[in-house]
Every structure is written in C-alpha cells, then in structure tokens.
Homo-oligomer: A and B are copies of this chain.
Amino acid sequence: MNDVAAAAGVALKTVSRVVNNEPGVNIATAERVQAAIDRLGYRRNDSARTLRSGRTASIGLVIEDVADPFYSGLSRAVEDLALRQGYLVFTGSSGEDPARERELVLAFCARRVDGLIIVPAGTDHGYLSPEFDAGIAAVFADRPPGTGCDADTVLCDNAGGAQAGIRHLISHGHRRIAFFADSPAIFTATERLYGYRQALAAAALPYDEGLVAMGPPEQARVQAGLERLLAAPDPPTALLTGNGRTTVAILRALSALPSKPVRHGGRLTDLVGMAVVGFDDFELADVLGITVVAQDPSGLGRTAAELLFRRMSGDVGPSRRVELPTRIIARGSGEVPPRQGGKGAS
C-alpha cells in the first residue's frame, strides 16, 4: 500500500480510502490511485487489515464429514449465505471425534474467525468459554451444544420425524417395526429413538428391544442385524432407519439377501416383502422408490448462518433454539402392506 501511495503520489491513508471505497476522495485522485493499484498488481493484505480492525470477515464451519451428502448440503448453504455477505468459510470435518472438533474450533479461533457454525461431536463445550468472552459468535447446527455452553441452536424435528415415519408405517398395517439407527451417543439417534417409542406407545404397540439396532452405520454390523431380525421367530414387517448412512447400509443389505421372485415393478424392498422408511432423503431415493422422512440440510445451514450473522451484527438477546420440520415423502417402499404368514418370501 505504501508502494501504491508512492506511485500515485498520495498519502498512505488516501490509498486506504480508495481501496475501501470510503467516501471523501476526489474522483481524479481516486482514479490516479486506482491506476497505480492496477499497474502494481496490488492486493490488500487482509491479515494486516484484520489485525487492526479486529474483523476477519471469515467464519469457521465444523461438520461431521464433508463427504456425507447431508453435511455437504448444509455446507453449501452456509457457504452461499456467507459469500453473499462477503465472508469466507473455513471448513473442517471432525469425523465424530470430539478432540478433532475442539482442535478445529480452536484453530479457527486462533485465526480470529468472526463466527463459528458447529455440528458438535463432543458433549462438553466448556472450552469455548474463553472464546465467547473474547467476543466470538457461535451457532450449533443439527445437534445442541454440550455442557458448559449456551448458544443458538438449529435442529431438525428428530423425534417428530421418527414419530411420523412410524405412524406412516402403522397406518399401512404394520405392527412389528424395526428401528436401525446410529449410536445412542449421537444426539439425533437418541431423539429419533424417542420418537419411535412415542409413536409405538401412541398406537398402544409394545416396545420390543429386540427390534432396535443402534450403532455405527457400518455395512457388516447393519447387515448382521438385519439378518438376525429376519431369522427371528417373529420378524418385523417394516423398518425405519435412523439416518442416511444407515439407510444405504440397509438397502445394500437387502439387495445382498438371496433374491426372491419379483411380482410388480423392480422395487428393491419387494424382494423381501418388508416395508422401509428411511430417515433423511438421498439422491436416487426416488429411483429406488424409497419412502423417506426428509430433513432439510440446506435449511439447516441457511438458518444457522442467518442466526450467526444476526449475532455477529450485535444481537445479544437470549439464545434461541430453532427446530426445522421434517416431511414424509411416500415413494412406495413405505406403503408396502405387511407380508402375510410369518417369515420367508411371500
């Protein structure tokens, strides 16, 4: 900037004014400065700007995994909104590791991001206190903050969504419905289990622990669980999954089962005569004909970003908690009637 000032024959401060479009600069002067800027290929150093002004115009986003379509949809929404406001986004994947979440968050804080959007992996966020004291804004998305932290939160209606999914299956005649979800340590999984139980209770159906399989959505584990259930004396006639990863694992497991004659159309779930509702929509769910409880990952990201920007522009009210609705998208797999007469192919 010094060089530009020298080249244009003005003071440093005048260049600063031009670069920042501040009012009160003679047009002729501004043009002369601009010419010097272009000629020298000058670009403002935002580190220096940051150091002086205290604002970095950047935010940090910690998610579980960018490669998971749910989180990449969320990411994209955050990014779009941030960019429109002139903010840049640091992105990091925690991989469900609380230590890595903390590391990322603190690294972002050291870079002096103005705000954070966090999908927490850990359950203790006391480590954020000094950062809050230092004036950083934070919003939690998809899962609430753990202990030692109070901040805006945007969630899906997890319990409500699971409840609606089960109600849907019950309305199609199912009474024995399995639930495959992520580890109970994960907030959303537990909430959805709660919704599952509520819906059963509301329909006066018994809660059978044997029908519930929770854990990491690994193919082998899910497949073993499914096979165990199907081999049981009184197998379920329907199944609700607890997230997109699990849905995929279930579909893979179903398609790996010894195939049965197909009756009508090429729908996958017809192969085992089991109704399936997936929690979270996914690409090709329409092609596969899979009924889902759709969440709104973009909405989650957008809302989180909106809340964050509101905080960053000075809102100091009590922390909010927003819950986004889910909706059932019926595509066939959730509308299959219960298979008659015990186990095996129909």
Contacts and interface: CB of A to CB of B under 8 A. Distances in A.
Contacts of A268: 266, 287
B76 A93 contact: yes
Contacts of A129: 41
A277 B288 CA distance: 18
A44 interface: yes
A65 B56 contact: no
A91 B110 CA distance: 18
A259 B44 CA distance: 61
A35 to B, nearest CB: 15
A299 interface: no
Nearest to A41: B130
Interface stretch (A45-53, A163-171, A206-214, A310-318): A45-53
A92 interface: yes
Interface string A123-154: 00000011101100000000000000000000
Contact of A111 (B47, B66, B104, B106): B47
Contact of A47 (B51, B65, B130): B51
B112 A45 contact: yes
A283 B108 CA distance: 32
Interface stretch (A26-34, A193-201, A248-256): A248-256
Nearest to A271: B266
A91 B89 contact: yes
A72 interface: yes
A157 interface: no
A58 interface: yes
Q: Which of A44, A56, A75, A106: most chain B CB closer than 10 A? A: A75
B108 A88 contact: yes
A202 interface: no
B252 A286 contact: yes
A51 B43 contact: no
A287 B255 contact: yes
A187 interface: no
Contacts of A109: 43
B288 A288 contact: yes
24 contacts: A41-B130, A41-B133, A45-B110, A47-B111, A65-B76, A66-B72, A66-B76, A67-B69, A67-B73, A68-B72, A83-B92, A88-B108, A89-B92, A251-B287, A252-B284, A252-B286, A252-B287, A262-B265, A266-B266, A266-B267, A266-B271, A283-B284, A287-B288, A288-B288
